[in-house]
A and B are shown apart, each in its own frame.
Chain A
Amino acid sequence: MFRDPKTLLLLFGMPIAQILLFGFALTNEIKDSKIVVIDYAQDNASKNIIHKLSANPAFDLAESHFNAEQIENAFQKGTIKLAVIFPANFEHNLLHSSNSQIQIIADASDPNTASTLSNYASAIIQDYQLSQLQQQGMATTPLNIDTQIRMIYNPELKGATNYVPGVMALVLLLVSVLMTSVSIVREKELGTMEILLVSPVSPLMVIISKAIPYFALSIFNLTIILMLSYFLLELPIAGSLVLLYAASSLLILTGLALGLLISNSTDSQQTAMLISLMGMLIPTILFSGFMFPIENMPWPLQIISNVVPSKWYYIIVKDVMIKGLGFSSVWKEMLILTSMAIALLLISLKKYKIRLV
């Protein structure tokens, strides 16, 4: 394994790249979204609001002169995501008939961005309105409900907080399941497995000797990830490291057992790889909760998510690493993960023996 520089590079490059991508590139914030303002009013009120909109980092105001008919085409071209339209006589209506209308049109083909952007825009407009009220001598606007928001665990709304535990699960499984299954099948394909099996070394030892390097590699990768996230992403590890490594070891064991199981059921590397990908990585991405919110899934999928080991691992890591909770809070998840690891190990060893006889 260590003689193959390409594979080695990938094994170590992968976690680093993933941490960087997830940590830096995938932010949950919405910023610099291109919007356009169509101002038929051209008065102080509209200009004030436009100024406020352009000052908001979420928006990137397009400078072009649009008219309302061009909006649809701009959406189709994908040049803008939101349009704000001020009617003629906006300020006049506001002051004299106490009522004026602003139109916000969002490209809702991306629903979340659309609703976030229109929420932002509405909030800016409402804030403006409030400030106007106060300026107009109504300094004592009655009944102000103020809100104070605290973003707990992740005050800066970093994407990393959510993704790092997920990447940990992903990388650990990638190394343990995929690499183990493929490398065993490779030995089968090349015929070297037979040599090992007829040697006086007991089959159990063969398996253990295959598993240990990958176990070590996984632990090593985990350490790299933790260091990167600590130093580079400035994500402190709030809880116990021992607990974190213990949980990770459980996940790796589960992965190794699965890899072994997969290698038993196939003879070609291509198939081993596909089964590993479909059987482990996709479920991890889908069901561990770090990419997709489990609570939004239909109930059959929520039930399925319970059998995915990485879901439990993800919960543990989140609780320990980010929330700083102790063993008493995660013992249930630990227990589930342990039983999964043991069950899978037993099954795979049993199947392995049967094949040998």
Chain B
Amino acid sequence: MRILRFLLQKEFKQIFRNKALLPMIFAMPIMQLLVMPLAADYEVKNINISVVDHNHSSTATQLTKKVIASGYFKLVDYGNSYTQAYQGLETDETDLILEIPAQFEKELLTQNGSKLFIAVNAINGTKANVGAAYLQQIIRQYNQSIRLEMMANNQQMAIPEVDIATANWFNPDLNYRYFMVPGILVVLVTMVGAYMCALNIVKEKELGTIEQINVTPIKKYQFILGKLIPFWVIGVFIFSIGLFGVSYGVYGIVSQGSLLLLYGYMFLYLVALLGLGLLISTYADTQQQAMSIAFFFMMIFMLMSGLFTPIDSMPGWSKAIALSNPVTYFIEVTRMIMLKGSTFSDIKMHFAVITGFAVFFNGWAIINYKKTV
């Protein structure tokens, strides 16, 4: 224990003395947490629409009004040239073109039906998908309403109608930030944990100081603990700042579930993550290598964690990667506890998995960490 005390003293002194590193450890995460949720807003809104109206009838005008009134769309162009609208698509000024044919109203009334043309800039698939779905929804609703209107006039029998009541639980306003902030919290802790930890150890390797340590009576586990504990503490600190300062303070997100549970999970997660950092450091000889390896993992971990895209939609092999990614579990747990108030029994499996990761990474790292060069 005495040796550990000296190791910890040394680590903390070195970390707090590193003028370049310190602001990055503490200021960057907060910056990121402030900026990321603002930037990472996938809520599909303000879809730019161009309406090409060859018809100019009252029905066409009414439909256009409905579309605009829905709030999802912003009318950037209303004209009668498809070519002109298409140019808007090329220059990204418009996302979606609604073309109303010349005989729209007439066909509708005399031939019982007419066809509208929708062209979507589908480079961004999500937006295209959701945008088109919204537009179709609006058209369908409009269709229903004019049909009902007409039938009411014709005094025909009432049409059976299914009323669909949609409820959005846990986030009734569909606020995208509620979704992003907990995820980003996890990303921050992950970055600091795995990166800093791996780099720190490799730095000692590169400078040769580790050799000096290796000829002293310090035991393997003491050295490793001396490295892990400081970064564990920093990780907990950053998470707390993010949780209370930014998530609660700035975005007003109140955790629905138990904070104790959340912290309990984070403690374990950090142990697993630092184990990974340690593991990386045993394979890398230079900081440049450690950085590249860590970056590589980070990239995969971030993308394959369900942070941005739902894991259920991934093809089988990438689903497998996502499921063997510790970040996935912590993001899920954070969202579950914070947004849905999940309890321990809901996330038992997650606890088991992260414990497995912690044992696996640390075990491998310790075996691989050779005190004799």
A/B: CB atoms within 8 Å of each other: yes
Interface residues of A (CB under 8 A from B): 4, 6-7, 10-11, 13-14, 17-18, 21-22, 24-34, 60, 72-73, 75-78, 81, 94-95, 98-116, 118-123, 125-126, 128-129, 132-133, 138, 140-155, 157-159, 161-162, 174, 178, 182-183, 186, 266, 268-271, 273-274, 277-278, 282, 286-287, 291-293, 295-298, 301, 315, 318-319, 322-323, 325, 329
A138, A142, A182, A291: the one contacting B308 at CB < 8 Å is A291
**Complex interface: chain A residues within 8 A of B121 (CB):** 152-153
Q: Which of A6, A25, A292 has the most CB of B within 10 A?
A: A25
CB of A27 within 8 A of CB of B163, answer: no
A30 CA to B309 CA, complexed, in Å: 9
CB of B318 within 8 A of CB of A151, answer: no
Given A104-B165, A106-B167, A278-B28, decide whether A147 and B115 contact each other with a Cβ distance below 8 A: yes
A33, A101, A148, A269: the one contacting B165 at CB < 8 Å is A101
A278 CA to B191 CA, complexed, in Å: 11
Task: List residues 277-294 of chain B with CB under 8 A from any CB of chain A.
Answer: 284-289, 291-293
CB of B172 within 8 A of CB of A296, answer: no
**Complex interface: chain A residues within 8 A of B71 (CB):** none
A10 CA to B136 CA, complexed, in Å: 46
**Complex interface: chain B residues within 8 A of A154 (CB):** 122-123, 125, 128
**Interchain Cβ contacts under 8 Å between A and B, 25 examples:** A25-B303, A31-B313, A32-B312, A75-B170, A75-B340, A76-B342, A100-B161, A104-B164, A114-B174, A115-B168, A115-B174, A118-B168, A123-B137, A126-B140, A128-B162, A133-B159, A143-B143, A145-B142, A146-B113, A162-B123, A178-B291, A178-B295, A269-B291, A286-B39, A323-B90
**Complex interface: chain B residues within 8 A of A114 (CB):** 168, 171, 174
Interface residues of B (CB under 8 A from A): 20-21, 24, 28, 32, 35-36, 38-46, 48, 89-92, 108-109, 112-130, 132-137, 139-140, 142-143, 146-147, 150-151, 158-172, 174-176, 178-179, 199, 203, 284-289, 291-293, 295-296, 299-300, 303-304, 308-310, 312-315, 318, 321, 332, 335-336, 339-343, 346-347
A73, A126, A296: the one contacting B46 at CB < 8 Å is A296
A146 CA to B104 CA, complexed, in Å: 11
CB of B164 within 8 A of CB of A148, answer: no
CB distance from A102 to the nearest CB of B (A): 5
CB of B179 within 8 A of CB of A109, answer: yes
Given A21-B303, A114-B168, decide whether A102 and B163 contact each other with a Cβ distance below 8 A: yes
